[in-house]
Amino acid sequence: MGSQTSAGQQGFNTTAIHAGQEPDPLTGAVIPPIYQTSTFIQDGINVLRGGHEYSRGSNPTRGGFEAQLAALEKGHAGFAFASGIAAEDALLRAILVPGDHIVLGADGYGGTNRLINQVLGRWGVENTAVDATDLDAVRDAVRPSTTAVLWLETPSNPLLGIADIAGWARIAHDAGALLVVDNTFASPYLQRPLEWGADVVVHSTTKYIGGHSDVLGGAVVVSDASYQGQPVAELVAFQQFAAGAVAGPQDCYLAARGLKTLGLRMDRHAANAQALAVWLREQPGISAVHYPGLPEHPGHELAARQMDGFGGIVSVRLAGGEPAARRFAESTRLFGLSVSLGGVESLVCYSSEMTHASVRGSALAVPTDLVRLSVGVEDVRDLRGDLEQALAAVASLRSPVGV
Ligand SMILES: Cc1ncc(COP(=O)(O)O)c(C=O)c1O
């Protein structure tokens, strides 16, 4: 089963560097080796030397990463998967049966929506999308006896909405359902949903946890909650083994290495994002800035309570609408035009067509004047300079030379 934790009272960075990452007892190597093996020699039939039988079931490199992440999320056990979506799929299929119902925040990653609607929907799982900031709407959407999972993403992708995790947890538990929080945007450094009553955290470890845009991965971290009399940890462990979308040892090594510097990186991401958000809202080409660190953000007070910082993602709306947003996204030089986020390098994304194409034309569509910035850890004056020249390119669109 995924690795159990023994989280003490250590500081975050100490835990990030040491939990699950003990030096190799055989050689003293400071960094635990990458166990690039599919299977493990047995000393007799079913006599396992180190508890490992076959790497789909468990692998020491994966186990180390799972323990490290679970300790940081203050969870009971962690499970690593081949991608964030694979983690979400495994969790949902571990819990749900046909006829069950999910309540989910309407403003979230388009791929999660696609999974829930177009994959699980075909297997008879229903869902209702609600405004995640409206707890009455969340409660009203719950269906007695069939709602099994409440799914929340906060901050949300890409509108940076902030929802009340403890409020969602109360509604879930009153209904006998589980609260799952996608903690990808905040990372455990800035927010630990299990401490606010969530039962499960999911991650795209592709993002801030890996941190360097060089690995794809996902994770599920569970509390010691049970669902219908069975520990959630056991349900997920079974699904991970039986359906097999596990993360490989190389990918777990990269994710574990990234996780060690998460705190350092997040501080810098957040400082850069705050500075750019403050600057962006003064720019005439920008009609709105979505960043929970700004005092005018509707979720600012809640974020200040629930989080330990406001994160590295800033979304902006362009005064010139869709043409301006497209021009802005295609004019940056340091900010690379790309899907994904959370790496040390800054990225820019035209969300409505790049990450949320699957919900285009629906009530969940992302505004076409919106551009999402994943603010990296470069020098902030260089980032500001890049955005300044991109805004100048947008201005030239509005008033072409000679007109
Ligand atoms: C908030 C969020 N959750 C989940 C995912 C899916 O993760 P992955 O791309 O690793 O499958 C993403 C990917 O962009 C995301 O932004």
The string of pLDDT tens digits covering residues 98-108 is 999 999 999 99
Which entry of 62, 192, 207, 317 is annotated as an active-site residue? 207
The answer to whether residue 164 is catalytic is no
The atom of ligand 1 lying closest to the CA of 216 is 10
Output the six-digit token pair for 152. 């929340």
Q: Mutate which of 109, 153, 313, 359 to test ligand 1's pocket (most atoms within 8 Å of Cβ)? A: 109
Query: What pLDDT does residue 361 have?
Result: 80
230 CB-near residues (< 8 Å, 6+ apart): none
Q: Kindly report the length of the chain.
A: 403
Which parts of the chain have pLDDT scores under 50? Answer: 1-5, 7, 402-403
| Distance (Å) from CA 352 to ligand 1 centroid | 15
Q: Is the CB of 206 under 6 A from ligand 1?
A: yes
- The tens digit of pLDDT for each residue in 109-147 reads 999 999 999 999 999 999 999 999 999 999 999 999 999
Query: What pLDDT does residue 362 have?
Result: 80
Beta bridge partners of 128: 103
* Among protein residues, the one whose CA lies closest to atom 10 of ligand 1: 84
Looking at residue 237, its amino acid is A
The atom of ligand 1 lying closest to the CA of 153 is 1
Cα four-point dihedral sign 374, 379, 380, 385: negative
pTM score: 0.96
- Residue-range domains of the chain with CATH: 3-260 (3.40.640.10), 262-398 (3.90.1150.10)
| Distance (Å) from CA 160 to ligand 1 centroid | 15
Which H/E stretch holds residue 253?
helix 249-260
Q: Is the CB of 182 under 6 A from ligand 1?
A: yes
Query: What pLDDT does residue 364 have?
Result: 79
Beta strands in 10-168 (DSSP E): 42-44, 47-48, 77-81, 101-105, 126-130, 147-153
The answer to whether residue 207 is catalytic is yes
Q: Mutate which of 81, 85, 152 to test ligand 1's pocket (most atoms within 8 Å of Cβ)? A: 85
Q: d(Cα 293, Cα 311) in Å, to the nearest integer?
A: 8
